């Protein structure tokens, strides 16, 4: 069973770049899954950020597309999220998940990112 673990800074300054990594264990990032990022602001619902395939193909949420980059590192069996020009509205729990079309089957535990000076 694939397991996912998010990691990265818990505090990012406004206008800075949020960078997170999702380590994949129990499976290979090169398998047939897509790999997604989802976030959840405090007390609110879920928002899909984007996804990547091991080939490097990506799909992004249009609402975030101009600020988001998702990449994959097959040598380290992980994928990453970068979100630039962050504001307080980007404060959230960030989850990585497997995206088996058309749903997300396995989720990481999530990591909290706060945008504050």
Partner 1 sequence: EIVLTQSPGTLSLSPGERATLSCRTTQSVSSSYIAWYQQKPGQPPRLLIYATSSRATGIPDRFSGSGSGTDFTLNISRLEPEDFAVYYCQQYGPSPMYTFGQGTKLEIK
The residues of the shown chain that bind partner 1, judged by CB under 8 A, are 36, 38, 45-48, 51, 59-63, 95, 97, 99, 101-105, 107-110
Q: Which long-range contacts (CB under 8 A, 24 or more apart) does 65-70 make?
A: 70/35, 70/37
Phi–psi pair at 102, nearest 5 degrees: -125, 45
CB of 103 to partner 1, least distance (A): 4
For residue 96, the 8-state DSSP code is E
**Which residue, 75 or 89, is less far from partner 1 as judged by CB?**
89
CB of 75 to partner 1, least distance (A): 26
CB of 53 to partner 1, least distance (A): 12
**Which residue, 51 or 90, is less far from partner 1 as judged by CB?**
51
Tokens standing for residue 9: 């800074």
**Which residue, 15 or 112, is less far from partner 1 as judged by CB?**
112
For residue 16, the 8-state DSSP code is S
For residue 19, the 8-state DSSP code is E
């Amino acid at each position: 069973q694939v397991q996912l673990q998010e990691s990265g800074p818990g505090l990012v300054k406004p206008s800075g770049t949020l960078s997170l990594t999702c380590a994949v264990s129990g499976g290979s990032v090169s398998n047939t899954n897509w790999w997604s990022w989802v976030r959840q602001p405090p007390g609110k619902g879920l928002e899909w950020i984007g996804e990547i395939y091991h080939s490097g193909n990506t799909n992004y949420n249009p609402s975030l597309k101009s600020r988001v980059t998702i990449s994959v590192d097959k040598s380290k069996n992980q994928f990453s999220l970068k979100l630039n020009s962050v504001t307080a509205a980007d404060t959230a729990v960030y989850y990585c998940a497997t995206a088996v079309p058309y749903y997300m089957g396995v989720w990481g535990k999530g990591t909290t990112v706060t945008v504050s000076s």
